[in-house]
Every structure is written in C-alpha cells, then in structure tokens.
Amino acid sequence: GNGLVIISVCIVKKLRQPSNYLVVSLAAADLSVAFAVMPFVTITDLVGGEWLFGKVFCNVFIAMDVMCCTASIMTLCIISVDR
C-alpha cells in the first residue's frame, strides 16, 4: 500500500500537493521500517529471541530502528499540525 501511495503521487499530477507530500513522506518512512527493521525483528522472534546477526550489526540495527520509527512518528506529528 505504501508503495502504491508513493507511485500514485509521483504519476498523477493532480495529487502533487504539499499535503500529499507529507503522506508520501509517511509512506516512505513506513517502508523503511518494513524493509530495514521488521525482517530482523521477525527472525529474532522466530528463533526464540536470540540475536543472530552479530554485535556490530546489533548496534546498526538499533540505530536504524530508532531513526526509521522516529521519522514515522515525526511525520505523523507534522501531518496532524498541517491538518
């Protein structure tokens, strides 16, 4: 769904409005969570909570998690102020 939102705003000229750019930003932030965070959380949950990806990537993963989730939350806050 998020990909379709991004594609539709890029393709349809009528949808290229500032408020829709915020929706595109939210869709991109949610996609980043879906691709950069959720697969590793899912695998970790499936193996019983043990981190299999090494200590260095654990720190990288935590940084990606915080960054992507914060981007999504902040975009929601900006959308609510815009509305």
pLDDT, tens only, 34-64: 999 999 999 999 999 999 999 999 999 999 9
> What is the pLDDT, as a whole number, of residue 40?
95
Parse the chain into domains and list their residue ranges.
2-82
Contact 27, 5 (CB under 8 A): yes
Q: Provide mean pLDDT across the span 13-18.
A: 90
Contact 5, 24 (CB under 8 A): yes
Q: Answer yes or no: pTM beyond 0.95.
A: no
**Exposure class string for 6-42: b at 16+ Cβ within 10 A, else e:** beebeeeeeeeeeeeebbbbbbbbbbbbeeebeebee
